[in-house]
Structure 1
Amino acid sequence: MQFRYQALQRKREPDELDAPVLLAAPRGWIAVFVVMIVIAGACVWALVARLEVTVAAPGVLTHPGGTSQVQSPYTGLARELLVRPAEQVRAGQPVARLTDGTGHARTITSPFSGKVISAALTTGQFVRAGATVATVERTDLPDDRLVALVFVPADQAARLAPGRPVDLSVSTAPPAAFGLLRGRVTAVDPYPLTREGLAAIAGGDLAAETFHRGQAPRLVTVDLIPDPGSASGYAWSTAKTPPVRLGSQTAVSASIELRSQSPFDLVLGR
């Protein structure tokens, strides 16, 4: 009886053939528009935005001349070491005295000016000709200044070129407190450094091990950007800068900008 009543009621109602069909609720269309806007924005960002491609490498704040070793031209027994680390020496200044095999006193002089980095000679030590007496950071070049010498792995240095911006994390100035030291690449050595060449620049075999990470690196010279208003004398990424001037032989970690590319190119591997 119930179904018969419904059938009669349906028969009395006209067919609603011209009534619009509701495919989606208004809330559904709003969600569709939002998704479309997000996708369009992502596509525009992928084409227009720029991502910086960088290479990280260790280095040291020093002078363009790097370090050089004062070697003994004589064989004999050490009598006296005349210099100490952190002392300044002049070209021709005596750095040590020894007694040779004939009993004559010999004086070893420094052939260049600079700051003594290490001097390991002790009284009574037997010294052979050519042995290192002291390591000196040279400051006698005409364009002497404070620079960062960065040792970049050879396989990552192909796109390096003078003029690239560099951010330096300085070991004596925590980045969380003072930000990053600003610099710019001024020279890139065309050939990788040998272990001997790296040791000569870094100040010995022990220091060279820090910068030789499995393969011969290339030397990159970074000039620091000056800032007369900063207590350190150089520009930083933040307004709060270190309250003292920077010193040489300070370890740094460099981030060198290689190029910039769009996210779209990055996805395609270009």
Structure 2
Amino acid sequence: MGFPGVWMTESESMIYRVVPKCACSTIGQIMFYSDHGRFFDGDIHDSKDGMHKWAQDHSHDAIERAVRARDAVTFTCVRNPYARLLSSFFDKIAGIQRNGKRYRGNLVPQLVQRYGIDVGTPENGFEFDQVASFRRFLLFARDTIRFRKPMEPDIHWSAMSGHISTFIVNGGRYDQIFFTEAFNDGMQKVLEEAQVPVPLNLSDVPRFNESEGHGPKRAHKVSDYFDDLSRHLIWEIYKDDFQLFRYDFDNPDNKMPLGEVDLEEVHAKLGR
């Protein structure tokens, strides 16, 4: 199976398991800069050279070798499940993508028809009932993850633990797992251990949010989107994410983790 979702610097200083909606654009750009002294011109997901990616066949041997050797600093980044799912909804379902179209073509019309979701339009200023539509999207996300219907789960809302586990199951091991909510602290520890060719100051790095500005802004605090049923559903699909990465299930408005990640526990539970 290899190492899907893995990026590595050409200098082999860092190996990163991408988790969508967890600062992956910014992390990729930092990795690119640490080798080349410049940021990639465009969305780092579109880069075809300058960084190894498992999606590129010519990168397979280098990534396989580096993972087995365990010389590179290997890491990933996680995010509060409540905020991550809301971000997926506002970006991928309610927002317009960089190409000017809706995400995955007919996905949104399908959700309008099957789940009664309304996401407004750019013409009406994305006016719609955000809470009602998000809760219907959550039901759809649960159906895709639990029952794989009406489609396979999308990488942007499938559980973080699922993304992170593939690397462990196939023979990889993480040195660090840090939080999007404490991004600079976590990324700084990675850079210090990695001994990168080109040093950079994280306080000078812009945030590369490729979805920003293409859709509606969240109008309410996080807890307003999650009634009792919604919280039951989110626990059903993200229980491992809450528990392994120490996020606060009881208070949706507390975005910060309640403790550090226990790497031994992560490897034990996700390596089965």
Tell me if both proteins adopt one fold, taking TM over 0.5 as the criterion: no
**TM-score interval, smaller chain:** under 0.3
Structure of greater Rg? 1
Higher strand share: 1
TM-score, L = length of structure 1: 0.22
Higher helix share: 2
